[in-house]
Amino acid sequence: MKREKIADLWSFLILLAGAVFMIAPFIWTVSTSLKNQRMIFDMPPKWIPDPISLDNYRDVWGQSPLLNGFANSLIIVAVVLTVGMLVSAMSAYAFGKFEFPFKGVLFMGLLGTMMIPYSVVMIPQYIGFSTLNWVDTLLPLIVPGLFGNIVVIFFIRQYLQGALPNDLIEAAKIDGCGFFRIFWSIALPTMKPALAAQAALGFMGIWNDFLGPLIYLHTPEKQTIQVLIASMQALYIGQSNYPMIMAAAVIAMVPVIVVFFFCQRYFIESMAISGIKG
C-alpha cells in the first residue's frame, strides 16, 4: 500500500510539472494582453502586469468589427448545429434500427466521405458557390452543414445500438405509433447524451474553423471571429504590438473555453468514445 502511495505522489508531481508547461502559454497571453506595449520588453519577463490595463481590449474592439464576427460565427454554429444534428439523428436512427434495400451501400458511401480531404473539394465547391453568387455570404459555410455529418451519424448509430432496444420500437408500433412519432418521442430523447456530446464537439469545430471562412468571407463585417482575429495579426505584427495581438487571441478563445468548462464531461467522453469505436 505504501509503495502505491509513493507512486501516486510521483505521478502527481510529474503531471503537475507538465501542467505548468501546458497552462503557462495561456497565462502569459492573458498577462501580455493586460500590459502596455513598452512593458513587454521588460526583462526578466513579468508575469503580473503593473499597472493592469484593459486598454488593449478596448482598442482591439474598436479597431475591428468583432461584434459582427461573433454574430457571424454564432449564426453559423446555431443553424448548422440545430438543423445538422437533427438531420444526422434522423439518418442515424434509420441506419441503426431498420433494414432497407441498399442500406449497406449507402452507409459505406457516406463513410467514404470521411476520407475526402477538404482541400480536394474546396476548389470545385468554391467555383460552384461563386456561380450562385454566394461568395462573401455565410451560405457556403452553412448550407453544406445542413445535410448532416457522417461522423455524427456514425457515432449516434453506434450509441443507439446499445441504448434503444428494438422491442421498444416494436411495442410502440403495435400501439399504433407512427414512424415519425416513434422517432420524435422515443428515439430522439434516448439520443440526448450522444447528441450533446457531438454538439459540444461540433461547436468547437465550427467555431474554430478557419480555412472555409477564410476562402469565402472577404468583407470584414461578414467575416467570422477567427478570420477577423487572424487579419488583426497582419495589422499589428509590423509594429510588434503583441499586447493588442494577445488581447485579440484572448477574445477568440474565451467563448470556446467557457463552453468547454460547462460541457467538459461531454467533450472528453465523446472524444474518448469516438476514438475507441473508430
Partner 1 sequence: MNAKLTGYRRKELAWLYLFVAPPVLGFLLFGLAPIVFSIYISFQKWDMLTEPQWVGLGNYNDILNDGKVFISMYNTVYLMIGIPIGMLLSLLLAILMNRKFKGISFMRTIYYLPVISPIIAISLLWQWILNQDYGLLNNYLWDVFGIQGPNWLGDPNWVKPSLILIGLWGGLGANMVLYLAGLQSVSSTYYEAAEIDGAGAWHKFSKITVPLLSPIHFFILVMGVIGAFQTFSQIYVLATDGGPEYSGATIVFYIFQHAFKYFNMGYASAAAWLLGVMIFIITLLQFKLSKRWVYQD
Question: Which position among 53, 70, 136, 144 is part of the footprint of partner 1 (CB under 8 A)?
Answer: 144
DSSP category for residue 221 = G
- Number of chain residues interacting with partner 1 (CB under 8 A): 95
29 touches 246 (CB < 8 A): yes
Residue 92 CB, shortest distance to partner 1, in Å, is 9
- Out of 150, 194, 195, 217, which residue is the one contacting partner 1 (CB under 8 A)? 150
- 275 lies in the site for partner 1, by CB under 8 A: yes
Footprint (CB under 8 A) of partner 1, residues 89-128: 90-91, 93-95, 98, 100, 106, 109-110, 113, 115-128
- Does 37 bind partner 1 (CB under 8 A)? Our answer is no
**Please, which residue, 78 or 268, has the CB nearer to partner 1?**
268
Give exposure, 4-31, as e/b (b: 16+ Cβ within 10 Å).
Answer: eeeeeeeeeeeeeeeeeeeeeeeeebbb
Rounded CA-CA distance 242/249 in Å is 10
Site for partner 1 in 198-227 (CB under 8 A): 204, 207-208, 210-211, 214-215, 226
Nearest distance, CB of residue 51 and partner 1, angstroms: 20
Q: Which of 219, 251, 231, 243 is nearest to 70 (CA)?
A: 251
Query: Counting contacts by CB under 8 A, is residue 22 touching partner 1?
Result: yes
For residues 196 and 131, the answer to whether their CB atoms sit within 8 Å is no
Whether the link from the prior residue into 51 is cis, omega within 30° of 0, is: yes
In the complex, the smallest distance separating the C-beta of residue 6 from partner 1, rounded to whole angstroms, is: 12
Cα 257 from Cα 254, distance rounded (Å): 5
Indicate the SS3 state at residue 274.
helix
Q: Is 238 in the site for partner 1 (CB under 8 A)?
A: no
Task: Give the residue, chosen from 164, 194, 197, 249, that forms a contact with partner 1 under the rule CB under 8 A.
Answer: 249
Q: How far is the CB of 9 from partner 1 (least distance, A)?
A: 9
Which of positions 46-85 make contact with partner 1 (CB under 8 A)? Answer: none
Categorise residue 119: left if φ over 0, alpha if ψ from -120 to 50, beta otherwise. alpha
Q: Does 171 bind partner 1 (CB under 8 A)?
A: no
